[in-house]
Amino acid sequence: MNGWYESLHSGKGPCCDGSDAQRVDDADWDTKDGHYRVRLEGEWVDVPDEAVVTGPNRAGRTMVWPYYLNGHPRPRCFMPGSMG
């Protein structure tokens, strides 16, 4: 699946490979007012629409590719899985 991971992009650019991704448990992501949010390092962070990776999730689990801005995690890419 390495080729698939390397092909993933969001509106913020390439997500990189699967080694950069963090798996997100169902309790650590949800939707609010029609937008995703994710808990990164104990902090709830809104996922910008342009960071959402569209298309089928071949891994099946929710993943986020974080970066840091002023010491706080932000989602560069976010791929929702199926809750439950």
Name the residue with tokens 């104990």.
Answer: 42
Question: Cα(first)–Cα(last) distance of the chain, in Å?
Answer: 23
Per residue of the chain (84 residues), what is the pLDDT tens digit? 778 888 898 988 888 766 778 999 999 999 989 999 999 999 999 999 999 998 888 888 999 999 999 999 999 999 998 754
pTM tops 0.85: yes
Sheet holding 72-79, edge to edge: 22-23, 63-69, 72-79
